[in-house]
Structure 1
């Protein structure tokens, strides 16, 4: 079967005296019959080219399925008079949200539930399988329970465009109320008194810009606007403090933020700015009561690159600041979450996530220790104001997802659950390590590795290697556990994460050094890591594959142009590969609010020239032998439009590259919905990678 060739319908784009002929921009017309026919042809071609992998795909899917306890329950979390949890049932795609009553007010030990034994007093709140009936796609974007436990709100998206329809359910009767709010963003919540719902909506550029107040039981047409942000560079969000004292409305860009307080008992009051926004200053707050005084703990970067924590009086937040945790270079403070008796601090140090308890009286943090070289950890959060424990999520490359409760008074970690991995999984069969590669400018770039020991230690002899990267928005890629990854490791593949600049793994400067006019560092770091893996004997170019998604897909497209000889294959998921076209159009998502991340090529000639020098679509080269490429996208993605990989693949075909495009016709940025569908999608990608690597099917 011949690959589909998109018609060349040139248009000329001119900026700053530079002209670009774009032959495939016509593919942006999502409703056009020719565009849909082309995408269907791409899917048919990809299906034909990968048909021989069907047995391997099915085997990997069965491996994922066989390692997963399909009928299972999460660890219950307490809220008010109930334990809340989710269950899954073998053969069903979606989770079932449930609750069961607490034994008494002192009951803080989650019940040991069994998927095979009925839970006393269990009430099913929402069954995703029932809600998804009749829909190819289903996603839950909001789920909240009123403080008194009598009502539930939930927001559903059935197309993948991340616009949710909100409904309210009476939990005493199980019936939905008449409330119906269309086109909301995710994260809607009840007010503490349960009489109101606070939600946000987006503008035409998919920017959350307006906060609304809905009175339960009334028509949505009567909803009141609480706050609108007119500046297109900023998004908004809203939520209540754990103390239920305030509604916090947050306004932010990549480099600047401002927060507003509204008393929870007077939600129509004018929002009051905590600190007026200043360009380049970011902050976030949490409310506490210390010594009988309402205070705000504020995390900020005003003169503190890696952030510091201060305390101010809630009645006068712009008054005196008491420094609680001073700026410490190399310790990137990420979040502080206040409870009645103490706060939880989350931060990064030495490339790893950390969690500690902040003592209100001494302004000191007691760090919670873990004994693995690499790991991911974070607070799961609790709706309760005065719990004796905090809930933590922990995992590593070799330790499956683990839930701990940390008893603050006793300083003790209480194991609540470790993700079961069926089929005889033994963590000791696998190894993990941190190594370092040297970038072109001498910067040391951390690399996290995991492998199966029975194939030998990394570096003993060249092995097939799967290298992953992201490197944008100060987002850190953590060394966490993956059931699906075992299908690669058990076939002898080494998995590696390149923690390149632009991410947040090594602190704020690490991010600054990989954005705007430093963005090329992200790409050259990844190439340097790949070359290090080859030079150190871990692998060879014909046994090295790369993967990244979204902004990490931009990374994939850039390194394909920079070092096409270094990789045998590349998977680019929902890839941001036509970045210059997108960032030049203020009407599109990922444009005006993204100028702080990438620069503004529309108004700045230097930024235009710099972006043009690296964006994948414009830099596809003639006369180059590209690695095999699989681009995966979704028709209804509102973050990175399907047209970007569609244009990129069409351009790659012009220069003879072996490139495949797989477009989900009913899905969004996160791909298909439903756990079995997601497993099959991952099996498709992993089978393709194994085929590129030439790895035999046998596992050990």
Structure 2
């Protein structure tokens, strides 16, 4: 649909303005859409409905293309499928999907995969009569006879806990409301540990529940009083220890307890001091500790081991003065995680933008990296519950290789493919992936991961989809998407820009894109786009950009800074009202986020955040075509942020390009919950982009 015809078809919604001003640090900010924060306001609901209707009307001519894309994406999926079975304590556990069903089934077989199947949980049954459904915890008791699971039916990420007797198939009376997703059993299966949230949805309390008792009598074990810290809980791989985590974005404090004595008091592994981050794993008679602390002999602390180092300590002498170095800090290699087994341990480490798996074989005094089948890839840890196993299972994918599950044999040093997810009709030999580097204005080289159809002629520019995130030190590694094939088969080039603020190049990459360096994230993305244009991949008239959540902030900032550089943009659940949100401690997650963005109560941070906050920097200029998505019950990015942003853009921008707001009225941050609903959302966005490119 031509953008010039839109005004003739339908007038865009016009959001009412109501006088409201913020005054901070002697700066007055007008916020005429502040009234939208009331989810119960019928005027707000009516406005969102009007925006949704407008979006549907504007995209009406794309319905046929949406249907085609939906069918294409669905046709590539092997709907009847099964995950790699994992053996644990006499059972083989797996998840399967069934044609026509939106959710998976969790199953097991006793003794071998030839035994009779036992369905532990059919999510399709649980999700009936719910517009939204998400499974949180799925935790089998140590004796394999009970299942603790939690569900969220609102999208607010507030879960209810249930316990199922796997012998009788009946639910027990142990039901607990309003917890976070995960739960942990004590070793004797007599107690469950779970976490409660405060009014801002900050996980802050650890409770202990005795099985077959009234949840109202559950014991509060720990409460975190510092609003910057959140609480988490889990157990060691060995199942011998329970860990209580108190964490902010910059600081860690871990308490531990023998899982065999769940009523005992927790011990602090290393007391919190600002800037010290660490992780602990149990292996036999020792602790393995990932730490960024230099652990000076005089008892002082600094955190110059930015990429972390690995230490060890005896089980009964865990204090930092007993820590001994196993792997030193390296400037070029970041240690991500450690997994301890009986006779070896596994390190995930990151170098030059790629995650690698290093094996430390204690029995044979060897250490080496597991070789991978491609030069650019993603790997991740999977469940390896057998502590004595000499085999290690991990996940693998690349831009052209579908999700695969490999097993590394420590004895034969061979890599065995257990399963590659079948993508029906897909031949990866028809596609090409590459990694290039884009120069940023300050000379930093930004990695770009690129994939496209091999028959693409590079003698001309092409439609290009550029994706980015760049926050929280999260690694946006090269990943496979079967939905992406529909774009590539129509001549679209797909690119991931690994901008600063993420963690792809090590901890410094994250530090260089947060706090008072946040603008590097945006300029890296802009420089990536300009490099792709200068290298002949695309042109500004054919360049689409996309990002979600903190990646939506990236999109909002970039189209304010360089609206001429992009043909279109998609911002999914975008964090765009940065200053207002970070000033409001009543909003979920705000206090946790101060160590990511800064606390605007400090004027230095206030001024800097105000310089890039997308909502505060909308001006009268032409903007690219823009599709914005939102979830009414999103606890991470409140629905009013994208809603206010779209309203201000409508009132201010000077062009006739498409501006659409699509709000899911029953979902949260992750959008639709069933697989068919997610495909519909993807098909909608793809159809919108392809129509703008003039592609069918």
**Do Structure 1 and Structure 2 share a fold, with TM-score over 0.5?**
yes
Q: Report if aligned partners of 2:81, 2:96 keep a CA contact under 8 Å in 1.
A: yes
Secondary structure of the residue aligned to 2:172 is: strand
Distance 1:212 1:360 in 2: 38
Distance 1:586 1:556 in 2: 25
Structure-2 residue corresponding to 1:205? 200
Match 1:77 to one of 70, 83, 86: 86
Q: Report if aligned partners of 1:464, 1:494 keep a CA contact under 8 Å in 2.
A: yes
Match 2:33 to one of 24, 39, 43: 24
2:569 equivalent to 1:560: no
Match 1:181 to one of 167, 176, 181: 176
Q: Report if aligned partners of 1:310, 1:325 keep a CA contact under 8 Å in 2.
A: yes
Taking the TM superposition and a 5 Å limit, the aligned residue runs for 1:117-516 are 120-289=115-284, 293-301=285-293, 302-318=303-319, 319-360=321-362, 365-423=367-425, 425-456=426-457, 459-516=458-515
Q: Report if aligned partners of 2:69, 2:687 keep a CA contact under 8 Å in 1.
A: yes
Q: Report if aligned partners of 1:247, 1:263 keep a CA contact under 8 Å in 2.
A: yes
Give the drift of 1:364: 5.7
Distance 1:615 1:633 in 2: 18
Secondary structure of the residue aligned to 1:178 is: coil
Q: Report if aligned partners of 1:345, 1:365 keep a CA contact under 8 Å in 2.
A: no
Structure-2 residue corresponding to 1:50? 59
Give the drift of 1:361: 6.3
Distance 1:296 1:510 in 2: 25
Distance 1:363 1:278 in 2: 35
Structure-2 residue corresponding to 1:607? 605
Give the drift of 1:268: 2.5
Give the drift of 1:388: 2.5
Q: Per-residue CA shift, 1:122-147, capped at 9, x if unaligned?
A: 10000000001111111001101011
Q: Report if aligned partners of 1:296, 1:317 keep a CA contact under 8 Å in 2.
A: no
Distance 1:569 1:158 in 2: 34
Secondary structure of the residue aligned to 1:587 is: coil
Structure-2 residue corresponding to 1:7? 16
Give 5+ residue unaligned stretches, structure 1.
Answer: 104-110, 112-118
Secondary structure of the residue aligned to 2:195 is: strand
Q: Report if aligned partners of 2:290, 2:335 keep a CA contact under 8 Å in 1.
A: no
Distance 2:406 2:208 in 1: 36
Q: Per-residue CA shift, 1:200-234, capped at 9, x if unaligned?
A: 11111111111111112111111111211110001
Structure-2 residue corresponding to 1:114? none
Give 5+ residue unaligned stretches, structure 2.
Answer: 1-9, 294-302
Give the drift of 1:688: 1.1
TM-score when normalising by structure 2: 0.95
Structure-2 residue corresponding to 1:692? 692
Distance 2:219 2:304 in 1: 38
Distance 1:331 1:73 in 2: 36
Structure-2 residue corresponding to 1:677? 677
Distance 1:366 1:307 in 2: 19
Secondary structure of the residue aligned to 1:586 is: coil
Secondary structure of the residue aligned to 1:523 is: helix
Distance 1:222 1:78 in 2: 36
Give the drift of 1:384: 2.5
Q: Report if aligned partners of 1:523, 1:559 keep a CA contact under 8 Å in 2.
A: yes
Structure-2 residue corresponding to 1:636? 633
Moved over 6 A (4+): none
Q: Report if aligned partners of 2:288, 2:310 keep a CA contact under 8 Å in 1.
A: no
Distance 1:577 1:262 in 2: 42
Structure-1 residue corresponding to 2:299? none
Taking the TM superposition and a 5 Å limit, the aligned residue runs for 1:507-526 are 507-526=506-525
TM-score when normalising by structure 1: 0.95
2:653 equivalent to 1:653: no
Secondary structure of the residue aligned to 1:506 is: coil
Give the drift of 1:256: 0.8
Secondary structure of the residue aligned to 1:383 is: coil
Q: Per-residue CA shift, 1:69-125, capped at 9, x if unaligned?
A: 01111111111110100111111000000001124xxxxxxx5xxxxxxx6311000
Q: How many residues end up aligned between the 2 structures? A: 674
Give the drift of 1:189: 2.0
Secondary structure of the residue aligned to 2:231 is: strand
Taking the TM superposition and a 5 Å limit, the aligned residue runs for 1:534-545 are 534-545=533-544
| Root-mean-square deviation (Å) | 1.3
